[in-house]
Structure 1
Amino acid sequence: MPSPRNVHIAVIDDDDSFRAATQLLVRSLGFDVAGYESAESFLDRCSDRNADCIISDINMPGMTGIELKQRLNEEGVDVPVIFVSAQTDPTLPRRVIECGGLVLLQKPFHGQNLIDAIHHAIGDLSQD
């Protein structure tokens, strides 16, 4: 597995408190992390799309997390996306799979579930 300092994780969520808490958790693991309040903000501010992993809410004003993943797919950016959602829509798991999302975590979730998902997402980086 790569050194945490060499891994950049983007957290995209319109909920300020969730985004801040998630960034703290990710940073406590030793990873480089940046937060974005919307998918559009990520696309505007992260023009090089250099994230090794994205943690994204699904339902946000403007572009949804799934639409963001689809856009990245169209741009040829193959980055693992961990989706989080408080929504209980039974079609979400299927939609996450169809867009190429790695995993869906239903809010609220245990922090260890997110940690496990991050390690799963970045595990392939050690092959580089």
Structure 2
Amino acid sequence: MAGGESHVGLVGVVDDDASVVRSIKNLLESSGLRVATFGSAEAFLDSNHRAETDCLILDLHMPGMGGVELFTRIAANERPIPVIILTAVTNDDERERLLRQGAKALFMKPFRAPDMLLAVRAALGTRQP
């Protein structure tokens, strides 16, 4: 591929709030990243994008399977995906536990776009193509 880059990471976004999904998708795509969006944890798990996802932005609180359960499944996978947590509600204990379990970052809604972009790029840097 031109420019010496052979792999542009795929970022998955799992959130039941369509406006948040749209905002993150626009931010990341405008920065040259590939994005796949999912309205639920189940939709992500059932997708054919799961195997190629290099970073996942995950809302903690969703109907059905919650973000914590999806995060736990991903962390236990033979090919764990770097996860950035996005939430409207959390406490210090939950935040510390998620970071200890391997979350790359945790953002409260609303998040600052430049901070999210930096966290995604850092998470993508932890993956080997």
Q: TM-score range by the shorter chain?
A: 0.7 to 0.9
Counterpart-to-counterpart distance in 2, 1:88 and 1:119? 24
Counterpart Cα distance in 1 of 2:110 and 2:50: 31
| Selected match of 1:124 from 116, 123, 126 | 126
TM score, norm. by length of structure 1: 0.87
1:74, distance to aligned residue in structure 2 (A) = 2.4
2:43 matched to which residue of 1?
41
Partner SS, residue 105 of structure 1: strand
- Aligned-residue CA RMSD (Å): 2.0
> How many Å apart are 1:49 and its aligned residue?
2.4
In structure 1, C-alpha distance between the alignment counterparts of 2:98 and 2:106, rounded to whole Å: 7
Within 5 Å, give how 1:45-124 maps onto structure 2: 45-46=47-48, 48-124=50-126
Question: Is the Cα contact below 8 Å between 2:88 and 2:108 reproduced in 1?
Answer: yes
Structure 1 Cα separation of the partners of residues 5 and 39 of structure 2? 27
Where has structure 1 moved over 2 Å in runs of 4 or more?
2-5, 46-49, 88-92
Kindly tell me the number of residue pairs found equivalent between the two proteins: 126
Aligned-pair identity (%)? 34
Q: Name the structure 2 match of 1:29.
A: 31
Contact 1:52/1:122 (CA < 8 Å) preserved in 2?
yes
Tell me how far apart the structure 1 counterparts of residues 41 and 20 of structure 2 sit (CA, whole Å). 15
How far residue 23 of structure 1 moved from its aligned partner, in angstroms, is: 0.6
Look up the SS of the partner of 1:52 in the other structure.
strand
Query: CA 1:97–1:63 in 2, change beyond 3 Å: closer, same or farther?
Result: same
Q: 1:124 to 1:89 in 2, by over 3 A?
A: closer
Letter in 2 for 1:87: V
Structure 2: which 5+ runs fail to align? Answer: none
Q: TM-score, normalised by structure 2?
A: 0.87
Task: Show structure 1 runs of 5+ residues with no match.
Answer: none
Contact (CA 8 Å) 2:36, 2:49: kept in 1 or not? no
Q: What SS does the corresponding residue of 2:106 show, helix, strand or coil?
A: strand
Distance verdict in 2 for CA 1:19–1:90, change over 3 Å: same
AA paired with 2:104?
L
Conservation of the 8 A alpha-carbon contact between 1:4 and 1:32: no
